[in-house]
Amino acid sequence: MPTERWNRLDRLFTEAVEQPADMRAAFLAAACGSDARMRDELASLLAAAEASGDFLSASALAVFARQISTEGWSVKPGDRIGAYTVEKRLGAGGTGEVWRARDHRLGRDVAIKLLLPHPSTSATERVQAFQREARAAGALNHTNVLTVYDIGEHDGAPYLVTECLDGESLRARLASGPVPIDMALDVAVQVARGLAAAHVNGIVHRDLKPENIFLASDGRAKILDFGLATLMDAPGPEASLHAPFGELSRTLFAGTAGYMAPEQIRGEASDGRADIFALGVMLHEMLAGARPFTADSTLATLDAVLTRKPADLSNVSPAIPPAVAAVVRRCLTKSPDDRFQTITDVVSELSAIVQSRSRPPRPGLLAILRRPSVMVPIASILLTVLLGVWRWRAETSRARWARTVAAPEVQRLTNHGDYAEAFLLARKALGALPDDPHLQQIWRDVSIPGTVTTDPPGADVEVSAYLTETTWVPFGRTPLDGVGLPRGLIRMRISKAGFQPVEASVSPPGQRFNLDPIAAAPPGMVRVRGGRDQVRFGSVGDIDDFWIDRFEVTNREYKSFVDRSGYTQRAYWREPFLDSGRSLSWEQGIERFRDATGRPGPATWRNGTYPDGQADFPVGGVSWYEAAAYAAFAGKSLPTFYHWYRAAGFGRFSDILNVSNFDERGPAAVGRYRGLGPFGTSDMAGNVKEWCWNAVPDRRRFLLGGGWNDAKYAFAEYDARGPLERAPTYGLRLAKYSHPVSDAVAAPVPIDEPRRDVLKTRPVSDELFDVYRRQRAYDRTPLHANVESTEETAIGTRVIVEFDAAYGGERMRAYLFLPRTGTPPYQTVVFFPAGDAFVVRSSRDMSLSGLDFIVASGRALLYPIYKGTYERMAAEPSGANGERDLQIAWSRDLGRAIDYLETRADIDRTRLAFYGVSVGADIGASLVALEQRFKTTILQAAGIGGEGPPELDSVNYAPRVRIPTLMLNGRYDFTLPVETAQRPLFSLLGTREKKHRLFEAGHKLPNDEVAAEMVPWLDRYLGPVVR
């Protein structure tokens, strides 16, 4: 409780503050009178009020926030940035902090450079600078440049994700003194190579120093921190305005002035030769243990760079070859015109020196050894050399395994079609050697980004190979976004405490699972996600989630129905008995349902029970009526045609057929065959055929899934039989719905609506076809082609080229792979990819598996980036018109790509082939019908689709394909059945030189089999390759 005195003080203060400043003293005197203490107190308070300015104006939180974020505490270990989990802070530099983080999708460590607020720069500047860095570094793909994986923004702070390296910076290494000569030269050559790659792309580093060179433990030197990099021909006034000022002030702030070239210090235009200067400084420092230009203060150092001569290396140590000293001297000349003009010259010079040094014997060194005065230092030099060599060249055995054993095996498995096995092995290898570009390419070939989510989230996911179950490998915890999934089927196990575990087959693009608490799930049943799919006989709208039996109904289960007098309880038998249209009374009907000894029961039973030892076998020899009655008994329902197909899940992969009971002599215990469905069912393929609710219009009922005595393709075929029939392969499984199904779903399925008979459809007239052709024509404007890069890769010499597209002022890119065998001009195969190209965001991540054999056969491969694929990704077409525009674009893209080929002397323009897969094969017919420059075409996984607008319909194009055509298809392709989709297309093809080759596979064909078929075809129609 404030005292009286206090209150008075308070009151007077308030009044005093309201007085004009010059009146205050008078006021105080009058108010306080003789109370001097009060007057002094007030005076000091007023003075404080005067001085206090913005004291306490910002809230405590703001103060706190500001302070801790400038300290760099905006993330903590365990935080999630994008798809990465941050683990440990590796360091802080001029532009931001670097953290080590984990990329759970690929199971590797990455480095995240987080840009933090710094009081001296504004937000937009920082973001722009950062984006510059990312663009600069991201455009480079070289073993001596830090690989940039990703760029993003986290809570407003931009970040850069790069490879995480094991090793130390050159600065750290230099802290322990000069570096052995061979190592110094090795590092210099590597750095120079990295710079060469940058310069070739028009990127100058501008901030090269030992802090920015990393010595990885696998022996590679990597250039980091393109923070000040500028693109040499980048337009924009802001680049020139801000950059020089930023450079200098940043350097002054960072205190590492000795590496800036004179022209940079003077603020003049600088180019790649500034990097050469910095490299010279570093090489000098590595050899001498000290920089060529040193002084006490930063400014003095800058002065030394501008005016003083560097110390001569030959004077520093006699071991340094004069040639090296000369190179360094030539890098450090003040005028850029006197230096090496290109970094590649530096590479050549240094490489030549390294070469000459590796030739034994080295008389120079021996001569030095004989001089006793240098004995001791030499010993320590040797020791350093030995240690350095050990640290430099050490390779772990895991890394060796990854490269020499795992990688080829992954290749082999992929070519064979064992995608899940290849995937698991590649994952393991990449975990052992995450930086290896070859493995990274392999990873891209075996995986494709997908999503696995659960509701609720936080479930543990394990995976195992599909065809032969391998050990279960931990995969992560949901939600998993952008996770690598194999390009095939894989088994997945989802578990979360308190919930029913799920085991299902998964393929890209992944799946969402709804988890059910253990108590809520009906025993023995699995949840099937509802939705709307394209079922073959039209759609019936959305169906809700429902339950379906995991296994077929077993003998044992059926017996409980029989034992509980199921065959005498009329209430279960709700469907009127009909025999070929004739009604039967209940008593008459039920008489039909007797076992082999005349007792009520399935046809396959004797004496009212099932054969010995077959308790867990699926019940067989039951009629549709019995199946319906059993369903009533069990309180469930026969699945409808649509529900059954939904649960069976026909995707692109037919692996299930290889682990199901087909082509056998009898049924197997349920679940013995490991054919797992996408929702956790077993034996939907094969074992017994399963009765479904729906009738065919003539009152037969559907039997789906095929039985043990059928061939594999029966899985996708439907069967329908009279409801009284009772073959041994007729069985059932049950479903459970949350509410009764709609009439549309329960109604007879209209299967006798004919699929359009394409053979009877007349293609459009030639006049009309000419209109279609003209729609796709384009003017042959100049290409303005520009080669972006040329690099040796595992698949041949990869040339990435960019040229003007034929429309929209766009540019398009194409990848050209040139063979290393054979002599130019090369035969060329032009490729059009499958659906994965439409979901992968960058052509850098393109999969090349299944294409390398083309280049290996001595031919060139052209892979254009068509509109809508990779970086040219666009939204899905809005409808038929959008679809047409896209196809027209493709036609033009293809034309342009060939136009480019024609400009190259190393390509034989008279020997071109078109190769399309899936999507590429579907429009392949139309593309090839219009493009006259191909000699032959290979269409893989193509077929006739449904009817569409005539200008897009294969029916009009296929007859106009007049070049030799090879069609490759899988016999068990669920999406393009042999009879209804593949064969019609084949017969429509206008050429007489055509071949339709069927493989024992689904939509996706094994690479080695395709190669074995395709190479002889190319030899025949393009001609053998000239060696």
Partner 1 sequence: MSSPSPDQGEVTTLLRAWSGGDTEAFDRVLPLVYDELHRMAARCLAGERSTISLQATGLVNELCLRLLGWSPGTWKNRGHFFGVSAQMMRRVLVDIARRRRAERRGGDRAIRVPLEGIDIAAREPGADLLDVDRALDLLAVEDPRKAQVVELRFFGGLSIDETAQALGVSERTVYADWAFARAWLYRALSGADAD
Tell me which residues are annotated as active site. 207
Q: Tell which one of 25, 45, 634, 747 touches partner 1 (CB under 8 A).
A: 45
Q: Which is nearer to partner 1, 252 or 777 (CB)?
A: 252
Q: How far is it, in rounded angstroms, from Cα 834 to Cα 837? A: 6
CA angle 696, 686, 1004 (to 5 degrees): 95
For residue 321, whether the previous peptide bond is cis, meaning omega lies within 30 degrees of 0, is no
3-state class of 342 per DSSP? Answer: coil
Q: Which residues contact 783 (CB under 8 A, 6 or more apart)?
A: 803, 804, 896, 899, 900, 903
Q: Which residues contact 357 (CB under 8 A, 6 or more apart)?
A: 181, 182, 185, 321
Q: Which is nearer to partner 1, 2 or 946 (CB)?
A: 2
Q: Tell which one of 31, 65, 873, 978 touches partner 1 (CB under 8 A).
A: 65
CA angle 898, 900, 901 (to 5 degrees): 65
Q: Which is nearer to partner 1, 92 or 1015 (CB)?
A: 92
User: Phi and psi at residue 817, in whole multiples of 5°?
Assistant: -105, 120
Q: Tell which one of 53, 360, 361, 363 touches partner 1 (CB under 8 A).
A: 53
176-215 b/e (C-beta count within 10 Å ≥ 16 → b): eebbbbebbbbbbbbbbbbbbbbbbbebbbbbbbbbbbbb
Nearest in space to 105 (alpha carbons), one of 75, 85, 79, 125: 85
Q: Which is nearer to partner 1, 3 or 358 (CB)?
A: 3
Q: Output the CA–CA distances (angstroms, integers) from residue 968 to 387, 739, 916, 944, 1005, in the order listed.
A: 58, 45, 10, 14, 8
Q: Tell which one of 24, 28, 32, 74 touches partner 1 (CB under 8 A).
A: 74
% helix, strand, coil for the chain, step of 5: 40, 20, 40
Q: Which stretch binds partner 1 (CB under 8 A): 71-79, 296-304, 392-400, 889-897?
A: 71-79
Minimum gap (Å) between residue 183 Cβ and partner 1: 34
Minimum gap (Å) between residue 105 Cβ and partner 1: 15
Q: Is 37 in the site for partner 1 (CB under 8 A)?
A: no
Q: Which is nearer to partner 1, 35 or 575 (CB)?
A: 35
Q: Tell which one of 26, 68, 241, 375 touches partner 1 (CB under 8 A).
A: 68
Q: Tell which one of 20, 21, 36, 54 touches partner 1 (CB under 8 A).
A: 54
Work out the number of other CB atoms within 10 angstroms of the CB of residue 824.
Answer: 13
Asked if 72 contacts 117 with a C-beta cutoff of 8 angstroms, the reply is no
Q: Tell which one of 51, 366, 376, 497 touches partner 1 (CB under 8 A).
A: 51
Minimum gap (Å) between residue 65 Cβ and partner 1: 3
For residue 819, whether the previous peptide bond is cis, meaning omega lies within 30 degrees of 0, is no
**Strand locations in 730-844 (E):** 730-731, 735-736, 786-793, 796-804, 811-818, 826-832
Q: How far is it, in rounded angstroms, from Cα 565 to Cα 852? A: 66
Q: Which stretch binds partner 1 (CB under 8 A): 67-75, 445-453, 493-501, 722-730?
A: 67-75
Q: Tell which one of 36, 61, 519, 905 touches partner 1 (CB under 8 A).
A: 61
Q: Is 88 in the site for partner 1 (CB under 8 A)?
A: no
Q: Is 252 in the site for partner 1 (CB under 8 A)?
A: no
User: Phi and psi at residue 903, in whole multiples of 5°?
Assistant: -85, -10
Q: Is 80 in the site for partner 1 (CB under 8 A)?
A: yes
Q: Is 367 in the site for partner 1 (CB under 8 A)?
A: no
Helix 363-370 × helix 375-393 angle, to 10°:
140
Q: Is 63 in the site for partner 1 (CB under 8 A)?
A: yes
Q: Which stretch binds partner 1 (CB under 8 A): 60-68, 208-216, 636-644, 816-824?
A: 60-68
Q: How far is it, in rounded angstroms, from Cα 925 to Cα 113? A: 48
Residues 15-34 interacting with partner 1 (rule: CB under 8 A): 17
Minimum gap (Å) between residue 457 Cβ and partner 1: 10
Q: Is 390 in the site for partner 1 (CB under 8 A)?
A: no
Q: Which is nearer to partner 1, 77 or 598 (CB)?
A: 77
Asked if 190 contacts 220 with a C-beta cutoff of 8 angstroms, the reply is yes
Q: Is 69 in the site for partner 1 (CB under 8 A)?
A: yes
Q: Is 253 in the site for partner 1 (CB under 8 A)?
A: no
Q: Tell which one of 33, 70, 299, 823 touches partner 1 (CB under 8 A).
A: 70
Q: Is 231 in the site for partner 1 (CB under 8 A)?
A: no
Q: Is 60 in the site for partner 1 (CB under 8 A)?
A: yes
Q: Is 48 in the site for partner 1 (CB under 8 A)?
A: yes
Residue 308 CA neighbour count, 13 Å, CB half: 15
Minimum gap (Å) between residue 104 Cβ and partner 1: 11
Minimum gap (Å) between residue 103 Cβ and partner 1: 15
Q: Output the CA–CA distances (angstroms, integers) from residue 650 to 96, 642, 674, 685, 972, in the order listed.
A: 50, 12, 17, 11, 11
Q: Which is nearer to partner 1, 45 or 615 (CB)?
A: 45
Q: Is 62 in the site for partner 1 (CB under 8 A)?
A: yes
Q: How far is it, in rounded angstroms, from Cα 594 to Cα 606? A: 9
Residues 114-153 as x/- pattern, contact with partner 1 by CB under 8 A: ---x-x---x------------------------------
Q: How far is it, in rounded angstroms, from Cα 457 to Cα 964? A: 53
Q: How far is it, in rounded angstroms, from Cα 906 to Cα 825? A: 4
Total residues in contact with partner 1, by rule CB under 8 A: 48
Q: Which stretch binds partner 1 (CB under 8 A): 42-50, 524-532, 649-657, 665-673?
A: 42-50
Minimum gap (Å) between residue 449 Cβ and partner 1: 21
Secondary element (H or E) of residue 455? strand 447-455
Minimum gap (Å) between residue 479 Cβ and partner 1: 11
Q: Which is nearer to partner 1, 113 or 193 (CB)?
A: 113
Q: How many helical (H) and strand (E) elements, i.e. helices and strands, does the chain have? A: 33, 36
Q: Which is nearer to partner 1, 60 or 571 (CB)?
A: 60
Minimum gap (Å) between residue 154 Cβ and partner 1: 8
Q: Which stretch binds partner 1 (CB under 8 A): 51-59, 187-195, 842-850, 948-956?
A: 51-59
Residue 783 CA neighbour count, 13 Å, CB half: 21
Q: Is 337 in the site for partner 1 (CB under 8 A)?
A: no
Minimum gap (Å) between residue 48 Cβ and partner 1: 4
Q: How far is it, in rounded angstroms, from Cα 868 to Cα 876? A: 8
Q: Which stretch binds partner 1 (CB under 8 A): 43-51, 194-202, 465-473, 729-737?
A: 43-51
Burial class of residue 404, CB neighbours in 10 A (0-12, 13-18, 19+): exposed
Q: Tell which one of 4, 30, 57, 774 touches partner 1 (CB under 8 A).
A: 57
Q: Output the CA–CA distances (angstroms, integers) from residue 24 to 13, 19, 20, 27, 113, in the order listed.
A: 10, 6, 6, 5, 57
Residue 65 has which token pair? 């926030």
Asked if 796 contacts 999 with a C-beta cutoff of 8 angstroms, the reply is no
Minimum gap (Å) between residue 159 Cβ and partner 1: 12
Q: Tell which one of 157, 257, 861, 930 touches partner 1 (CB under 8 A).
A: 157
Instruction: Measure CA 245 to chain center.
Output: 40
Q: Which is nearer to partner 1, 152 or 530 (CB)?
A: 152
Q: Tell which one of 4, 55, 360, 665 touches partner 1 (CB under 8 A).
A: 55
Minimum gap (Å) between residue 256 Cβ and partner 1: 21
Q: Is 14 in the site for partner 1 (CB under 8 A)?
A: yes
Where do we find the tokens 């103060």? 63
Minimum gap (Å) between residue 101 Cβ and partner 1: 13
Under the rule (CB under 8 A), what is the footprint of partner 1? 1-3, 6, 10, 13-14, 17, 44-49, 51-70, 73-76, 78-80, 85, 117, 119, 123, 155-157
